[in-house]
Amino acid sequence: MSSYNKKTKKAISVLSGGLDSTVATSFYKDNYDIHAITFDYGQRSVESEIHASKKICEKLGFKHSVIALPWLSNLGNSALTSEEKLPLLSMDELDDKELTEDSASKVWVPGRNIVFTAIATSYAEAEDADIIIVGWDKEEANTFPDNSKEFLESFNDMIYIGTKKTVEIKAPAIDLNKKEIVELGKKVDAPLELSYSCYTDNKKHCGICESCLRRKRAFIESEIADPTEYLE
């Protein structure tokens, strides 16, 4: 398969290789010539994220680039980019507002989506792309404000004013929870089996971090077969 589809419209995708960004990118795969970018910001799971993103792009015929942001891991004290212990929850605690907000604060990377989306905007302008694809969703927005609809609308307002070319951020999962994202992924034939959602860097998902638990629950609730290999 060609590494770069020849379609009329172009898109830049912010692709971590996770469930959300994989489904969001796949939503546009038939209509856009997509250049996916994956960020290396010193996160624990960087090798697995890059590997997953590369495999997804190879399967779907997208151009893929990795952008290193080594300085980002030096800001804050996120458990994703440091030796701090990852917060652990049970499946029954995933909807506990107080516990999940505490968990989110421990893995928060300062300004991460602002930085990623700003860089994607530069790529979009330079490559004459029409849209930027992101995996922001309703479930993540409960504890991560940079996944919210308000954040999406505000960023779109900013780039409308601040760019020479009309570029729009598209987040097809912005009103969806994880269960609905899995269902959308099935509908658009996203390569869910290639995606990687774990906070750790293993060949298999750890099965116990919050990201793994949300992934597990989504497949269980959607009643769609989970292709993920978990250590636990």
- Known binding-site residues for ATP equal 15-25
Burial of 6 (0-12, 13-18, 19+ CB in 10 A): exposed
Q: What is the rounded CA–CA span in Å between residue 117 and residue 21?
A: 13
Distance CA 49, CA 73 (A): 16
Which residue, among 38, 82, 89, 44, has the nearest Cα to 195 in the 3D structure? 38
Helices assigned H by DSSP within 28-84: 46-60
Residues 32, 34, 37: CA angle, nearest 5 degrees = 155
Which residues does the annotation place in the binding site?
15-25, 198, 206, 209, 212
**Cα 4 to Cα 123: distance, rounded to the nearest angstrom:** 16
Q: Is the separation of the CB atoms in 44 and 80 below 8 Å?
A: yes
Q: CA–CA separation, 52 vs 36, rounded Å?
A: 12
- The annotated binding site for Zn(2+) is made up of 198, 206, 209, 212
